[in-house]
Amino acid sequence: MVTVRGFFGRSSTPVAVLLLVPLASLAPLVPLAPVQTAAASAVREPVAETAADWTPPLSTRGRWIVDADGDRFKLRSGNWHGASGTWNGSGSVDDDANHHAGENSGRTPLGLDRAPMAEIIAGFQEIGINSIRLPFSNEMIHDTRPVTDTAVAANPALRGSTPLQVYDAVVRELTAAGLAVVLNNHTNTTRWCCGVDGNERWNASQSTQAWEDDWLFMARRYKDNQRVVGADLYNEVRRNIWDDPNWGLGDDHDWFAASQRLGDRILTEADADLLIIVEGINWTGIPIDGFAHERPTLAPVRNLSHTLVDSGKLVYSAHFYDYTGPNHSGATGTGETTDPRYRDFSPAELIDVLNRQAFFVTAEQDKHFTAPVWISEFGVGGREETNAKARAWFENFVDQLVRTDADFAYWPLVGRHENRRGNGWALLHWDSAGRRMGVYDGDDWRAAAWTRLIGAGGRTGQVAPVTEWSMLSPDHGDFVASRRMRALPDWDSGARKAVCPDGQRLLGLSHTGNRGLCSDVTAGPLRDPAGGHEVVRDERYVKAGGDWASGYTKLQCPDGDFLTGYSVRGAAVSAALCAAAPPGAISGTSGRTVWFDRGDNRGSAPKGGDFGNGHYKGQCGDDEYVAGVAYTGRVGSSRTPDAVLCRGLR
């Protein structure tokens, strides 16, 4: 055993954690009285959307989030933390000194002891926030102990409430003010995040089943509140003492599989209107020079992306702080590696690493991974921040957010101060007498950058519908992205099944690896609403004289049907799933064979991205559909796809 000081995530003040590694209406609105100076008014340009400015629910079109009218809705968000816990994990919970930065939230969103909720919310709107990321813990959901009177001293109507009832009231008042709320499962236990603390994974201190059940409970709880717009599934997935999380290995540490499954369950069993927000992996490896370690963030998405049962509901997220880095945990002293932190990069280097880790997801269009990216945590110290590199990083990072027109959520919104001193990371602080200190009070160096960010121009108004590209990945089990097929009996028992989302058709397959590519390009939804489906396991629909892959077994759809799914047993093709198109919508008499058994065959300018990284792939053209798949059963073959039959759309 080697004892290492390491840090895997956000902290208002970087904190080292011990890592053992093997070598109803509540209070009335109180008028705000911030300190105003000429300097403050010179940079202050608050932008606040009212309830009339957007229409829920939210969805996505390509890289943009849009409201129900199809207008771009930019998440200009902040984190209102506290309900998920501020206790550091040792000492008495009742002692403020044992809470992060001495700020004891009392198991409630921070600040309810010092200011009426209406005043806090008005402060959010004043600085231009239109949405709130609201952390909760799984423990909080089940905690039946009333919060202390002290924790809600400025909001006496909440006395005697459980933490969940306080959370309910906060959600109600935020949304009544026109703000959007994203529910964020921050931790398993009600304590400060994010080290080796029992909250490293969604199933670190609880079972995966308990995690899913809690999410279904929370999604259903706020289903009738349309301004609750998103489910941020879990915060900063990272290594525990012994094991790393992964993206696609199929075990109980597979964050890709866990988030894919839960996202589909929320949409199909709880609330189909919610955005499903999936953060990348925050940390893997041992943070010691000479050992492999990194902050993968969203880099794995390029090769393996989510396909939810409802297209237009997936949002990816990532976190960035100056003191961490692409290979730096953020530790200081023991456990600190020689890897550069983000603040050590030049502006050009920073842009390059940010694009590689996260921003490529929005920058590259017509890919299976194209989606909005929400930078759901970033922040920096305020008045007392003296590190020139940290200050420069914040300016450069804000420039990146402005340049990319990114959705964002600052960490945190609310903090405490006494005599204008304290944990300065928050944008709004209250002292014990209820006096507010804000980012626009004239002495906060972040004011100009915040104004630049919150008022930045960008995409507004209508966003036209876009072509959807989706990956199928039945690597370790069924990957059925069709609501229609999920509701029907198992169509190939014992096989792993992959089905395109409703409204899309299969366009590509990989020779090995079982991956597929779906799209609605050119044709839009192709299925006949009155038509059915057919499972094809033999060559009954290959007509005489129509042998398009001589010597190979061909699973071909009947004329008038298109391939919408497939099944595999091991690596071998098991069956083809065909769906009926409207009469006359597709060609059924001719086609071309696309071979991909010895190399990629995807056309000169294929869209959709690499849906089978490291494997040969075949893909039909944008004006075609897959009508059949061929394989060989000869000795030495694994019966993997070798060719597809591409036919034209009418």
| Total-model pTM | 0.93
Which residues are CB-neighbours of 67 under 8 A, at least 6 positions away?
54, 55, 56, 57, 58, 73
Band the pLDDT of 329: cuts 50, 70, 90.
very high
Is the pLDDT assigned to residue 19 strictly greater than 60? no
Is the pLDDT assigned to residue 35 strictly greater than 70? no
Domain borders along the chain are 61-455, 469-648
Per-residue pLDDT tens over the stretch 558-602? 999 999 999 999 999 999 999 999 998 998 788 999 999 999 999
CA–CA separation, 240 vs 300, rounded Å?
Answer: 20
The residue ranking higher by pLDDT, 294 or 587, is 294
The residue ranking higher by pLDDT, 11 or 344, is 344
Peptide bond into 57 cis (omega under 30): yes
Is the pLDDT assigned to residue 81 strictly greater than 70? yes
Whose tokens are 């629910």? That residue is 57
Per-residue pLDDT tens over the stretch 423-457? 899 999 999 999 999 999 999 999 999 999 999 99
pLDDT (0 to 100) of residue 49: 46
328 beta partners = 325
pLDDT (0 to 100) of residue 650: 83
Which residues are CB-neighbours of 381 under 8 A, at least 6 positions away?
12, 13, 387, 390, 424, 425
Per-residue pLDDT tens over the stretch 232-250? 999 999 999 899 999 999 9
For 192-231, letters b (16+ CB in 10 Å) and e give bbbbbbebbbbbbbbeeebbbebbbebbebbeebbbbbbb
Q: Label the pairing between strands 643-648 and 624-631.
A: antiparallel
Average pLDDT, the chain: 92
Residues 40 and 441: beta-carbon distance below 8 Å: yes
For 258-269, what is the mean pLDDT? 98
Per-residue pLDDT tens over the stretch 120-176? 999 999 999 999 999 999 999 999 999 999 999 999 999 999 999 999 999 999 999
Q: How many CB atoms lie within 10 A of CB 396?
A: 21
Is the pLDDT assigned to residue 634 strictly greater than 90? no
Per-residue pLDDT tens over the stretch 178-217? 999 999 999 999 999 988 888 999 999 999 999 999 999 9
Which residues are CB-neighbours of 342 under 8 A, at least 6 positions away?
320, 321, 322, 323, 324, 325, 326, 328, 350, 353, 393, 397
608-611-614-620 Cα dihedral, nearest 10 degrees: -70
> Which CATH number is 61-455's, of 1.20.120.1200, 3.10.20.340, 3.20.20.80, 1.10.510.10?
3.20.20.80
Amino acid at 585: A
Is the pLDDT assigned to residue 471 strictly greater than 50? yes
